[in-house]
Structure formats: structure tokens, C-alpha cells
Amino acid sequence: MIRAHLVISEAGRVSLACAGISTAWLSLWIKSAGAEHVDVHTLNDVNWEDTEGWIVVIADDVDLMRVALAHGKRILADHDGKRTLLGSDTFFLGNPRRTAWFYKYENSRVLLLPTGDVAYQRFTWLGKLNHEQPLLPLLVSTDGKAGDVLEPGLFGSIDNPYIKQNSTLSLNDRGYLLEEQLILLLKKYRMKLRCAESCTAGGITARISRVPGASNVLDRSWVSYSNESKQEELGISSVLIEKYGAVSRQVVEAMAAGCIKNSSRKKKFTVENIVSIAVTGIAGPDGGTETKPVGTVWIAIQLPGEKPMSACFCLSGNRTDIQSLAATHALAMLIREVDQG
């Protein structure tokens, strides 16, 4: 049995948090390389220092060198300040370009990863751990039955017809984050994406833009938070908002349509290759009513040549939880509709 140890410094945790990546995802990716169990440690936790197996350390260069020195490694630096770790396999990661190291220490395989992009370049460093063997499948699904990796909030227990209808279908089997899979799909079908976000305030767009290659598919986005912005930027009728409310099927579908109809005078792209997504809801803690409680979120998607489709979600948690879950559901819906459309 291969036991792995994921060791993260405070700087590493901050870097991961800024990228929206959890230690749970890192642990699951390490399992896909062949580890049967992954323990997560802080760098200052001495319990990991005498462990055996795979040791993956994510920290800044100074802390990584301290780990290497503790393992008896010699460090050489040239006149430009570039470090060489004697007795190790040196490789490079990007975003930004930086040096990573891999070596054996007693009965362990040690991987030193500098802070930066460790999520989207994981196939590079995972290959160092398992001798470039194929990764095991990691299913991303909408419930706890179809797979062993779950995006936050994608559970069949949520009272929503859309989820219930699709709960047995897996989203992907490569352990892709939803935003990664979405970009791959949009590239495959040569589509451009436009977003109109109210309660998520740009959260969907932010998640997509974290992924390298997002510029190939992400066209533009609006944070249409106020009713006035929905009218001015997306062409939503004030009568529609007054009649149904900003958080409604009618308004969110009009927002999705407005992304395409009212967004470009120059017509840079034809509507044949544009897909849009819109979201509006009540993130709380105030603003809820008896018929539309806090956590009510409407999401709409419009594919080329089709009418908008929409779904209402009843989410729970604090304000940030609801915004994050809404973004997750939006990405999952968009993946399904693009892939099945």
C-alpha cells in the first residue's frame, strides 16, 4: 500500500486558496496516481518528517530548501542565484516558470513543489510520483453514487428537478474540475461563452478564467447586480422585472438571451457560436421572502439557435456558500447542456 503525505506551508495554503483549490482535490489527484491513502499536514507539523511513502511538499523556495537540507541534500547556487539540488531530478512548472525537485529519501519519494500553479499542471508532477503510469479514473458526478469525487454542492438530495433528472450521470472520469471540463468542451465545439451574473457577482467568470486556455473560449461577462444594470446592459424590460421580480425564471432567461442580443454592436462573433449563461438569486442573509427564501437561485443557459433553458436551485449556507454553490451548479448545467445540445 502506498501512503502519501501532502505537506503544505502557510504560503502554500494561501496560494491554493487564491486559486480556489482545496486540499481534498489535491489528495484525490494524488490517489489517482496510485496512493491508497493521503494524509494532509502543515509544514510545521513534525509528524510527517519521519513518515515513509510519497511526500509532496508545497511551499515557497525558502521552505523547500529547508526540507531538502533536512534530508541531507546539498544546494548549489550560481551567480544568477539559480539553485541546484544535488542528487535530485529537476523539472520545471509554469505560471510562473519555476523549478521543482524530485528525489528519493530513505524509503520515501519526495516531491518539492513551489507555490504557483499546482492544479492545472498536476499531470506533470503526478507523473514523477508514479513513474509516468496512467492515472486512475476519478469520477466527478452529481451525487454520491456515480463517482468518488464530488464537487461541493452536487448532491442528489437538493430539491431540484434538474438535479434529480441527471443525478445518475457522471460529469467526467478524469478528475477534471468543472471549469476545466467546460473549457475543453467549448474548445471542442468551437464556442464562445458570455456570462451575466447577479448574485454570484462574477464568481462563475472568475472560476473559468483561472484555467489556462480560458482566453480561447471566454468572450465577455457582465456583473448585472442592480435592476438598472440588467435593463441598461442586457436590455431587460423594467416591466418584466416589476411583474416577476429580479429572481425569476422570466428574468434569468431574458438575461441569458440579452447576453447575445444586446451585447455587441460590432458583431465580432455570430450568434451561431455563442453560448450564454445567466444567474440571479438571493445570497442573503437578507432579502428573502416566504415564496423566495434566501438561497433561491435561478440559472439559465442559451445555446445557439435554441430557447433558453432554466432551473431553480434552493441552496443553503452562508452568503459565500450560496454564491459558491450557485457557480458550481451553473458550471455543471452548462457542461451538460453543451455536451448534450
- Identify the CATH number of the domain in which residue 251 sits: 3.90.950.20
> pLDDT by residue (tens digit) across 150-202?
676 554 433 444 444 554 457 888 889 999 999 999 999 999 999 999 999 99
pLDDT of residue 117: 93
The pLDDT assigned to 171 comes to: 81
Whether residue 188 is found in the same domain as residue 124: no
Predicted pLDDT of residue 156: 41
Domain count for the chain = 2
Q: Are 169 and 317 within one domain?
A: yes
Cell of 271: 450568434
Let me know if residue 121 belongs to a domain: yes
- Whether 169 and 295 map to the same domain: the answer is yes
Contacts for 220-224: CB closer than 8 Å, 24+ residues apart: 220/194, 220/195, 220/263, 221/194, 221/195, 221/196, 221/197, 222/195, 222/196, 222/197, 222/259, 222/263, 223/197, 223/198, 224/196, 224/197, 224/198, 224/255
The answer on 160 and 125 residing in a single domain is no
Q: What sections of the chain are H helices per DSSP?
A: 10-19, 23-32, 61-70, 122-129, 161-166, 178-188, 203-209, 227-234, 238-244, 249-261, 319-340
115 and 172 part of one domain: no
pLDDT, residue 267, reads 54
Does some domain include residue 145? no
Q: Specify whether 309 is located in the same domain as 207.
A: yes
Beta bridge partners of 310: 300
Please state whether beta strands 140-141 and 149-150 pair in parallel, antiparallel, or not at all (unpaired).
parallel
pLDDT, position 130: 95
In a domain, 12, yes or no: yes
pTM greater than 0.85? yes
pLDDT of amino acid 152: 62
54 lies in some domain: yes
Q: For residue 99, what is the domain's CATH number? A: 3.40.980.10
Which of 79, 94, 129 terminates a domain? The answer is 129
Q: Report pLDDT for 160.
A: 46
**Of 280, 297, 67, which Cα lies nearest the Cα of 163?**
297
Q: Which of 129, 164, 194 is the last residue of a domain?
A: 129
Q: Which residues of the chain have pLDDT under 50?
A: 155-164, 167-168, 264-265
Same domain? 118 vs 214:
no
Q: What pLDDT score does 168 carry? A: 46
Q: Do 239 and 328 fall into the same domain?
A: yes
Domain assignment present for residue 144? The answer is no
Q: Please indicate, yes or no, if residue 291 is contained in any of the structural domains.
A: yes
320 lies in which domain range?
156-340
**pLDDT at position 96, please?**
84
Same domain for 123 and 31, yes or no, is: yes
